[in-house]
Structure 1
Amino acid sequence: MPICTSCAASTPHLYTIYNSAYNFRLEQCTSCQAFADPYVEHDNLTLLLDLILLKRDVYRHLLYNRGLGARRAGDKPFRKDASISGDHVQGQQHYQSARWWLIVKLGFALICVDAFIRWTHISSNQPGDSSQIVTWNQAALTGFLRILVGCLFETAAFHAGVMLACYVVLKLVPSPTPPAPVSGIREQFRFSHVPLTLLYSSLTKLFLLFCLSIWRPDTTAKHQPAGGDAHAPLGPLHPNATTFSHPLVLRALALLDEDKLDRAWVVRNVLGGMAAGFGLRVVLDCHPVFTTMIILAGWLVKTAVANLVSGWVGTGLGGDDKAAGEMWLAYSIP
């Protein structure tokens, strides 16, 4: 049964179809009186943008309501005390199988994107001429395939650790008992929602990492003036520009320099962990402390697997195998 994206209460229908699939009316939630799921009439681009922006309602729509909630005009009203038919059970099993198939397809696509991002990052930081354009050859293809396999094992380990931690947390935190209301999220929750949530949450991280892999800063200039003198004045500033002279402020701002701050590591681990925790907070409907513990457990398993495969992955990246493996490991683990 679908749920309301605003209050998470179970609702029998999300919209009513009249003459055609494009002629429908959104249903109101009986609990909060808002539209049960406004994302029914939104296109895929809007859903993707809201996923990147970490909107709570779009998670509820994609995880619990996607492909459900349609009612033809003239159908009999739904009764909660009605017996569950065999067709309904068969439809739920088909929907569960379709969700696992979506996890496989989406997971493989995102792993390929992640492997390409890591390959470009590691290849651009190999010893040698940093301005040289990375080209595809036999060695590059071998390195990319090794990174792809490493990403596959690492992602599978992270998902396995998170699912195991979710199982433990759900056993320790039971659902509310009557007369306390039970959330529709807890009623409709399946463990297949967990890996799908992690994949949806990784879109924000992969989008920013992909942007960083395309628009990499020029590290050869080292922020020197055009004349080459590192101590030369920078020229006239804007009249309203803010300048800082306090040593503590200058040291704090220096931490944001490219040679001291690894932006890719911050996006992958800090922002990626926050996005995954937010997604699990939506799908598990529990306290943020538990989702933080779940993410930490997944990171521990992922770190162990990354250490195991780092040596094998590094042998196909060119240059010093040990240094390449350490570079891949430093980029992978928190």
Structure 2
Amino acid sequence: MEESGRTTSEAEGTTAGFRCVQCGFPIKTLYIQYSPGNIRLMKCGNCKAVADEYIECELMILMIDLILHKPKAYRHLFYNVLGEGRANFESLLGKSILAYLVLEFYRMWALITNEIERPLSLSAVSFVMDFGKMLTIVIIGNAAFLCSLLLAARKFLNAPTGFHGWKWILLVVLVSSYFKIFLMAMMVWDFPSSVIYIIDIFVMSSNIVALKVVTDSDMARCLAVCVIAHGIKFLAGHYSAVILQTNDKMLCP
């Protein structure tokens, strides 16, 4: 039966690049809006299910499904929220890099203070030196991580199906590292250093699911790429710390 007198507003639902969250099939329209607050969700032409039920869900539902590593939640986030034309890509990438580095710096600070079991020196000179060392280790480790991840992704994964080429992979990895936010809880409560490594494991598992979703590659290949990248990051950070400590001993015999 044909509906009469409807006002169809598809300005927010017809941008190219949408995906069905169930099967990943491309879809032109996620919903049709008849009037403010009155929408009809579209069905996927491939799996015949509702293309994206998260449109009508609370943000908390999406966050829970992301924590549970549900691929459909990642498809909604990367294709239907952050996809082409729905976000300022360059600005989002810059902010993601900055937030990632800040959380990585805090992770390094938390590890050092927990393992040494003492706060950083209150001396201005010592504090600046400690700050510089940690910043250097963080930059070297994460530069090695991102470079090795992109190189491994080019070698083992399918070409990205998103926009902006391999910058899209970089954004996907940074955003899917959201588990690092839980490090902020260590500002309020005391946790052993093992909690930091547990968070690292969750970050890597989230990266694996995100890469699988945006590249449609095998889980084993995504696992291999993330293990290689995170392993190189650990080695680069470890050896840069050793080199800095060796230089300190040579300067201060």
Seen in structure 2, the aligned counterparts of structure 1 residues 147 and 196 have a Cα distance that, compared at 3 Å, is same
Seen in structure 2, the aligned counterparts of structure 1 residues 5 and 141 have a Cα distance that, compared at 3 Å, is farther
Unpaired segments of 5 or more residues in structure 2? Answer: 1-16
* Residue in 2 that maps onto 1:113: 103
| Seq. identity, % | 24
CA distance in 2: counterparts of 1:146 and 1:97, whole angstroms: 35
Query: 2:24 matched to 1:8?
Result: yes
* Residue in 1 that maps onto 2:178: 203
Seen in structure 2, the aligned counterparts of structure 1 residues 47 and 305 have a Cα distance that, compared at 3 Å, is same
Seen in structure 2, the aligned counterparts of structure 1 residues 144 and 15 have a Cα distance that, compared at 3 Å, is farther
Q: Indicate the structure (1 or 2) with the bigger Cα radius of gyration.
A: 1
Query: 2:51 matched to 1:36?
Result: yes
* Residue in 2 that maps onto 1:101: 91
Seen in structure 2, the aligned counterparts of structure 1 residues 211 and 29 have a Cα distance that, compared at 3 Å, is same
Which is further off, 284-293 or 2-11? 284-293
Seen in structure 2, the aligned counterparts of structure 1 residues 295 and 66 have a Cα distance that, compared at 3 Å, is same
Residue type of the alignment partner of 2:143: A
Among 67, 90, 97, the residue aligned to 1:52: 67
Query: Normalization by structure 2: what TM-score?
Result: 0.73
Q: Deviations over 1:240-288 (max 9, x none)?
A: xxxxxxxxxxxxxxxxxx7xx93433432x3333222222222222222
Query: 2:147 matched to 1:160?
Result: yes
Are the counterparts in 2 of residues 157 and 305 from structure 1 also a CA contact under 8 Å?
Answer: yes
Among 193, 196, 199, the residue aligned to 1:264: 196
Seen in structure 2, the aligned counterparts of structure 1 residues 146 and 100 have a Cα distance that, compared at 3 Å, is farther
* Residue in 2 that maps onto 1:18: 34
Unpaired segments of 5 or more residues in structure 1? Answer: 69-91, 175-185, 218-257, 323-334
* Residue in 2 that maps onto 1:64: 79
The residue correspondences of 1:111-190 to structure 2 (distance < 5 A) are: 111-126=101-116, 130=118, 138=124, 139-140=126-127, 142-170=129-157, 187-188=161-162, 190=165
Among 150, 167, 171, the residue aligned to 1:192: 167
Seen in structure 2, the aligned counterparts of structure 1 residues 149 and 35 have a Cα distance that, compared at 3 Å, is farther
Query: 2:222 matched to 1:285?
Result: no
CA distance in 1: counterparts of 2:202 and 2:156, whole angstroms: 23
Secondary structure class of the residue paired with 1:291: helix
CA distance in 2: counterparts of 1:42 and 1:103, whole angstroms: 26
> Offset at 1:202?
1.7
* Residue in 2 that maps onto 1:75: none
Residue type of the alignment partner of 1:264: I
Higher relative helix content: 2
> Offset at 1:140?
3.7
Q: Deviations over 1:120-141 (max 9, x none)?
A: 33124336xx5xx668773445
Are the counterparts in 2 of residues 111 and 151 from structure 1 also a CA contact under 8 Å?
Answer: yes
Q: Deviations over 1:33-58 (max 9, x none)?
A: 22211222345454444333322112
